[in-house]
Amino acid sequence: MADILQVTDLETQFKTREGVIHAVNGVNFSLKEGETLGIVGESGCGKSVSMMSLLRLIPNPPGKVLAGKALFENQDLLSISDNEVRKVRGSKISVVFQDPMTSFNPVLTIGDQVSEPFRVHSDASKTDALDRAVKYIDLVGIPNPRERLNDYPHQFSGGMRQRAMIAMGLICEPKILIADEPTTALDVTIQAQIVELVKRLQNELGMSIIWITHDLGIIAGLADRVNVMYGGYIVETAPVKDLYKNPQHPYTIGLLGSLPRMDSSEYRRLTSIDGLPPILLEKPNYCCFEPRCRFAVDKCRNMNPGLLQVEGEGHFAACWVNPKTGKEYA
């Protein structure tokens, strides 16, 4: 299938009192039509910032997108005018944010907020937009959609609010839905509801999804392809099964090892990754996982590995060392 979005060499920085934080340091990836791409990493690894950068949602100052291209429908989202990007954002590419408790405006009704993107992006009247909102609120499984239009966000539970967020994200029938940790604030049973819902909607509407999360469990059943991020870089990218069966970057291996397995009744001590994630006060010209890595060799301290093809099609890892043998790639 064809690529719908191509991101190349994306770099984003933030000016802070302590210095410049190099949050995203050259990220390359592409998204295919109808594909679900998972982006996994810990807090501060640049997963949300890279997505917000390509939608031009990084406040400047303190943030700044330094370089990069994001090709979508023959347009570079990073170089077109603010007006043009506004036409894409919310209509062709929409975002579902993490916290359903704070991402709604508490003094506007659910109906107003869910229908707003459609009103902004078409010349529909308010009643038409509300009718359309009813359709999407129904689609995400909220009972009595017509009556709930006049409710305020506080009258919805967390799971319902997240459903309403998804309805808002879908109302313009986007080509790409970016879900930024949409279930992190929810309980597991509600999380399961939302995941099933998104899978069903993707089947019905055929959009591409970028799902940002720190949870390797949820992404296993959801994504076609996974990018693992660390220190502002993509350190591994692979089709989902290859990544879990045959992880190649020491960080991915460590992450998978630090999760308890539910499918065996035997006790196994968790393998933790020692140390702490990096503070990115300089753009690293070395591998930033090196201080926590048990495979590290001299080369890792002097040269940053780019994404290298490893065994398996479409499987790339940014590491000098083959973790299976513990030796450098020849």
For residues 186 and 88, what is the distance between their CA atoms, to the nearest angstrom? Answer: 29
Phi, psi at 163, each rounded to 5°: -60, -45
Query: Among 147, 274, 298, 313, which residue sits at the site for other proteins (rule: CB under 8 A)?
Result: 274
Assess whether the previous peptide bond of 284 is cis (omega < 30° from 0).
no
Q: How far is the CB of 252 from other proteins (least distance, A)?
A: 11
For residues 216 and 201, what is the distance between their CA atoms, to the nearest angstrom? Answer: 22
> Looking at 7-15, 168-176, 269-277, 306-314, which segment touches other proteins (CB under 8 A)?
269-277
Q: How far is the CB of 76 from other proteins (least distance, A)?
A: 33
Q: Any contact of residue 189 with other proteins (CB under 8 A)? A: yes
> Looking at 13-21, 147-155, 181-189, 293-301, which segment touches other proteins (CB under 8 A)?
181-189
Nearer to other proteins, 11 or 242 (CB): 242
Q: How far is the CB of 54 from other proteins (least distance, A)?
A: 24
Query: Among 178, 234, 255, 293, which residue sits at the site for other proteins (rule: CB under 8 A)?
Result: 255
Nearer to other proteins, 74 or 264 (CB): 264
Q: How far is the CB of 307 from other proteins (least distance, A)?
A: 21
For residues 261 and 217, what is the distance between their CA atoms, to the nearest angstrom? Answer: 10
Query: Among 216, 280, 310, 318, which residue sits at the site for other proteins (rule: CB under 8 A)?
Result: 216
For residues 81 and 89, what is the distance between their CA atoms, to the nearest angstrom? Answer: 12
Nearer to other proteins, 120 or 195 (CB): 195
Q: How far is the CB of 265 from other proteins (least distance, A)?
A: 4
Asked whether 292 and 209 are in contact (CB, 8 A), the reply is no
The dihedral sign for the CA sequence 49, 55, 57, 61: positive
Joined tokens for residue 295? 């495979």
Asked whether 236 and 317 are in contact (CB, 8 A), the reply is yes
How far is CA 248 from each of CA 26, 297, 300, 312, rounded to the nearest angstrom? 20, 16, 15, 11
For residues 226 and 212, what is the distance between their CA atoms, to the nearest angstrom? Answer: 10
Q: Any contact of residue 232 with other proteins (CB under 8 A)? A: no
Q: Which residues pair with 227 in a beta bridge?
A: 39, 237
Q: How far is the CB of 313 from other proteins (least distance, A)?
A: 16
User: 125: buried, middle or exposed (CB in 10 Å: 19+, 13-18, 0-12)?
Assistant: exposed
- Number of residues in contact with other proteins under rule CB under 8 A: 45
Residues 64-93 that bind other proteins (CB under 8 A): none
Residues 235-254 that bind other proteins (CB under 8 A): 240-241, 244-245, 254
Asked whether 296 and 290 are in contact (CB, 8 A), the reply is yes
Residues in contact with other proteins by the rule CB under 8 A:
42-43, 157, 159-160, 187-193, 195-196, 214-218, 220-221, 240-241, 244-245, 254-263, 265, 267, 269-274, 276-277
